[in-house]
Amino acid sequence: MTQLTKLPTLQELMTDSVDSLKQNALTVLLNQDPPAKWLVQHPMIRDYRYIPIEKIEFLLTKIYPRWWVEIRNTQIVANSVVVTIRLHVINPITGETEWQDGIGAAPVQTDKGAGATDWNAVKTDGVQKAAPAAETYAVKDAAEKFGKIFGRDVARKSTMNYTDLLRKSDFNSELEK
C-alpha cells in the first residue's frame, strides 16, 4: 500500500518552520559553487575541469554525518567496465536516509594498436585498474546529483541560483527563538 504525503496548506507554505529553514540552508550549501582551487584540468579532455574524488569524499564526510556506497551492478560493455552504484547519505537535518544513483565507466587497458574488443590484448591488470576507476566515476556522478558543491554545474553554461531559498532575516529570527 502506498503511503500518501499530506500536502502543505498555503499558510504553511508562507510560514517557514525552523526545520524548513534549516533544510533550505542545507539546499543553499549544497548548491554553492565548489572552491575554484579544487577544480582540476582533465588530463584527456580539453577545457574540461572537474573535482577530484578526494574532494568529493571530503565534502560528503563534512556535510553528512554518515554516507556509504552500495554497488548495484558491474559489467563489461565493449572494452569498458561499467559500475552502477547507489550513494546513501544521512540527511543532517532530518536524520533520514537519502540516496542518489550514479554510473561510471572506465576502459580496460589493451596493448597499443589493439582493437577495443581484442581480449587477447588486454593488459594483465587492465580490469583491476578499470573497475575501481569506474566506481569512482559512479560515486562522483551520484554526488553531483546532491548539488553544485559536488561539481554538478562545473561544465554547464547556465545555472540556477539557490540562495533565494534562504532569507537571512527569517532564518536568524527563527533560530533565536
Give 89-121 pLDDT, tens digit per residue: 999 999 999 999 999 999 998 888 887 778 888
Q: Which long-range contacts (CB under 8 A, 24 or more apart) does 110-118 make?
A: 110/79, 116/78, 116/79, 117/78, 117/79
All cell numbers assigned to 20:
524548513
- Enumerate the domain spans of the chain: 18-155
pTM for the model stands at 0.77
Residues 18-64 pLDDT 10s? 667 788 889 889 999 999 999 999 888 888 889 999 999 999 999 99
C-alpha cell at 137: 566515476
CATH code, 18-155: 3.30.390.80
Q: Over 70: is that where the pLDDT of 129 sits?
A: yes
pLDDT band for 169, please (50, 70, 90 cuts). Answer: very low
| Residue owning grid cell 548495484 | 72
